[in-house]
Amino acid sequence: MLIDGKQLAQEILTDLQQRVAKLQEEQNIIPHLAIIRVGDDPATTSYINQKERMGKKIGGVVSTYNYPTNVSEKELLEAINFLQTKGQVHGLIVQLPLPHHLNETTLTMAVNPEKDVDGFREDAEFNEPIAEAVIRILEEIFKIEQEPTPLSPPAEGMKGEGSFEQWLTSQNIVILGKGKTGGQPIIKILTKINIPFTIVDSKTPNREEVTRQADILVCAVGRGKIITEDMIKKDSILIGIGMHRGEDGKLRGDYESEEIQDKAAYYTPIPGGVGPVNAAMLLVNVVTAAEKI
């Protein structure tokens, strides 16, 4: 069963619309996200446009501050300081990736913990949106499992009993890849909520044997056909985070949906899977930050 990230994101945005309307009515506050962007990478433009569209849809404000590729680190640090002290913003992010002459850690750590809606700081008040997106998708699957229909019976051994946390703990979770923007956020959030998991990377022996045992497989590599049909367990859950552009210029994931759709019980496509939910969860963090004022 395909998990439609666009539909799920829309449900999240509908809830945020109500929260934003309440903030405006009761406190005259409009949630404001500021994005510092360096250069003109087309993929970055696409991500930012999505955030701006979603921000407008919920009644919030998303402001993008564009800087040339040769901008100095000092100038960006000054911009970060100004925005979070005098800019009246509730959330502030430095859009990654950055040119090599800029230190990503220095710049992202310059954002105050209460405004770090990307959740990069260890002391940030928010989890990374990509991690929250994966949890939200798994919650949706758990909900579906609790209310099976004649057309969509529960997969063997997957029907949840008790709470979402109990169900998640009972699953054999495997994370493929541990990159900074993919696997690491998932590792952090599962550790935080005490959910056991296994990490698979390029040094893991017999990777296929490990992935074939996974009830939930989170794919976060970013290369084509890292996962094939023979590497997954029947009726498993596949969450695709890693993506790349194929020879045709289109975004593709670590697996081809056509190959695994009949074997996996649930899977997210690329594009249209985790991506929209990720952007929506970023705005959840922004609205939450505004509500704390």
What tens digit of pLDDT does each residue of 176-200 get?
A: 998 888 899 999 999 999 999 999 9
Phi/psi class of residue 248: alpha, beta or left (left: φ > 0; alpha: ψ in -120 to 50)?
alpha
Q: Comparing 28-116 with 129-274, is the CATH topology the same?
A: yes
Smallest CA-to-CA distance from 39 within 106, 112, 127, 102 is with 102
Q: Could you tell me the pTM of the whole model?
A: 0.91
Mean pLDDT for the chain overall: 91
Q: Is the pLDDT of residue 104 over 90?
A: yes
Cα separations in angstroms, 103 against 38, 72, 74, 97: 12, 10, 11, 10
Q: Is the pLDDT of residue 209 over 60?
A: yes
pLDDT classification of 4: cutoffs 50, 70, 90: very high
Q: Is the pLDDT of residue 249 over 90?
A: no
CATH topology of domain 28-116: Rossmann fold (3.40.50)
What tens digit of pLDDT does each residue of 107-119 get?
A: 999 999 999 999 9
Please give the pLDDT value at position 201.
87
Helix axes 274-291, 129-146, angle to 10 degrees: 110
CATH topology of domain 129-274: Rossmann fold (3.40.50)
DSSP state of 147: S
Q: Residue ranges of the domains in the chain?
A: 28-116, 129-274
Please give the pLDDT value at position 156.
47
Smallest CA-to-CA distance from 290 within 64, 106, 58 is with 58
Please give the pLDDT value at position 247.
76
